[in-house]
Amino acid sequence: MTVCFRGGEMKGAITPPPSKSHTHRALFLAALADGESTVENLLVSDDTRATLGAVESMGATTSVCGDRVSLKGGRLHAPSAAVDAYNSGTTMRIFSGIASLFDTDVTITGDASLRKRPMGPLLEALSQTGVSCRSEGGFPPITVRGPNKGGRVRIDGSVSSQFISSLMIAAPMIETDTEITVETGRVSAPYIDITASMMRRFGAEVSVGDRIEVRGGTGYSPCRYRIPADFSSAAFPMVAAALGGDVSVRGVDMDDPQGDRAIVGILRGAGAIVEEGDGGIRVRRGDLRGTELDMGRTPDLFPVVAVLLSTAEGDSRLYGAPQLRFKESDRIETTVNMLRALGADASGTEDGCIIHGRNMLKGGRIEHRGDHRIMMAAAVASLVCEGPVTMEDADCCAVSYPGFLREMREIGLESEVT
């Protein structure tokens, strides 16, 4: 599907989709819980369908009705065939930890993009718990064979927080306590807090400090869990409003532990007009100015924040997020290439990029390499382009924001499917 975006005047109200991160975790936790759980406000997307398939492969039964799923778990078995995570890194990584609970081989694979994403730090950590791990040089497909015996584990935290979440989620199912020491920093640390909070909601005992400690043998209890709105998805209409309009984003909760709620402060710091209220957050166009931002805790915001700053007055530097090299694409390289294709003055660094703001961009044809966040950021960039922004395969947004094209069109982003 080829889509041509022609900018527009953003005006109105929009409700962002449910959190993808929370949806993945809720489905896995409900599958491990002994009994029936209900997950409400479910994000139904390509990635979360991969997780539904993974939990069903272990014998969990699911019944999806609209945005609600009833899931009966607890009596699980090893999958009888290889599990396909498709393009979902979260599915691949969290399921690998759960698969280590079985005393038989479990193989997990994915699409061509996912097979380029590293798994080495997680496999090394699992091997410390007695798990046998095989892979293609630290990349999928992988095969793990438990049982996972828990105990003290050391893990490299510089590549992905999902490795740590994987160890944490499996730990209550092991009789022995698990103590995780994270070496070389904790990238995307807010996601570890989300994991811990949700584990507690399902009855686990976990503490996060200098070390992460999880009590073994508790298992999980079924519950009713409602998925919050996704700040990483909300960032796209928020930035669109800051570039060209006045938009209210409904249903977002600033008390939620999602690290990507930082987009509100980023917008304010860059000069957008932001008002918080009980019903949500209103963002209006302001005089944007360059800034320096550490993106280490919020890497998913990187592409759209780079777009925000591409026409800000002065220079900007985004730094602290080398893990972006290992996302659906090399997200630093892909973001910089996208900005340059549209006429921005941007250059990549080892852990981010440098942007010299311009009054307007030119527009053009971009390559997003199947990365949903690059695709959506480029669509937002059309608001500050003199000409149209054209791209192939725009339906890749279905990974995290299935309604993106329709909902953004409803509040003013002009687009044409050809």
Q: Which residues are catalytic?
A: 300
Measured in whole angstroms, how far is the alpha carbon of residue 82 from the centre of its chain?
A: 24
DSSP H helical ranges for 58-179: 89-99, 120-127, 161-170
Instruction: Look up residue 155 and give its two tokens.
Output: 């893990």
Cβ–Cβ < 8 Å for 390, 2 = yes
Residue 48 sits at φ, ψ, to 5 deg, of -75, -25
Torsion sign over Cα 401, 242, 246, 384: negative
Sheet holding 68-73, edge to edge: 61-65, 68-73, 35-40, 224-226
Sheet holding 292-294, edge to edge: 292-294, 315-319, 352-356, 345-349
In degrees to the nearest 10, what's the CA dihedral of 76, 80, 86, 91?
A: 20
Quote the CA–CA distance of 413 and 387 in Å, as a whole number: 14
DSSP letter for 251, please. Answer: S
User: What DSSP string runs through 12-41?
Assistant: EEE-PPBPHHHHHHHHHHHHHSSEEEEEES
DSSP H helical ranges for 153-262: 161-170, 190-201, 231-244
Residue that has been written with the tokens 């860059």 in this structure = 270
Cβ–Cβ < 8 Å for 97, 66 = no
- Burial-class residue 136 by CB neighbours within 10 Å (0-12, 13-18, 19+): exposed
DSSP letter for 261, please. Answer: G
Who's near 383: CB < 8 A, 6+ residues apart? 7, 8, 10, 240, 243, 244, 245, 413
